[in-house]
Amino acid sequence: MGVKGKKSMRKSLKKASVRAEDHGYDSDAADFLPLEGGPSRKLRRGEPLESDSPVNSTVLYIGRIPHGFYEKEIEGFFGQFGKVRRLRIARNKKTGKSKHFGFIQFESPEVAKIVADTMHNYLLYEHLLQVHLIPQEHVHPNLWKGFNYRFKPVDRVQIQRQQLNKERTLQEQQKLLKSIVKRDKKRKRSIEAAGIDYECPEIVGDLKITAPKKIKFNKDV
C-alpha cells in the first residue's frame, strides 16, 4: 500500500469514528457479531504502555551538571518542585572536584516524574541537563551512603609534610638516604645522556650513619 492509500485509509477511519460518535455509539458495546450466530464478542484490549503505568521511583539521575551548581544550589533549585529527601554529587576522592553528575531523591514519585519530564534537556549555564528516572530495582544499595557528607578536600601537602618530618629509626633513615643517592645518580646519567654539560651539586650530609657508640663510665671516678 502506498502513501496515498494509507492517507485515504486514515481519513476513512477518522470519518467512521466521527459518525459513530454522532450516532451515539457505545464504546462498551460488542466489537463484532459472529457470522455463525451466538453471543457477541469484544476484542481484547492491549496492555497499557510503560509510560502510562504508575511510576513508583523517586530517584533521579542528573547529568551534565555545570561548574558551580553543587549540593546547596541543586537543593534550592529542585526544591521548587517538592521536598528533596536526599541528593549526592559524584566527586573526585582526592581533589573533591565535581564529576558533573549526581543523584537526587524526592519524597513523592509524582514529583520525581514531573521533574524528569520538565528538567530534561533544560539549558543551565550553557549545559543541557540530563535528568532521568532510575527504576527502584536499579538503585544501588550504597548509593546514599554518606549522602549528607559535605566533602572537604584532603590537605595532601600537610600529609606529605608529616610523612617527611616523622621520626625514623636508624634503618629507616639509611633506607631513605640510599633512595636519595640512587635518584641522584639516575638524574646525573640522564643529564649526561642528553648531552648537557652540567655539574650536579653534591649531596650534603653524612650518608654513612651508624648507631651511637655506648659510653663506658669509669667506676673509680
C-alpha 127 chain-centroid distance? 16
Structural domains in the chain, CATH included, are 59-138 (3.30.70.330), 167-214 (no CATH)
pLDDT digit string, tens, across residues 149-206: 666 667 778 888 898 888 989 998 889 889 989 999 999 999 999 999 888 887 776 5
CA angle 162, 166, 160 (to 5 degrees): 25
Average pLDDT value over all residues in the chain: 77
Per-residue pLDDT band at 25 (split at 50, 70, 90): very low
> What does the pLDDT look like over 124-151, one tens digit per residue?
989 999 999 999 889 998 898 877 666 6
For the beta carbon of residue 96, count every other beta carbon within 10 angstroms: 11
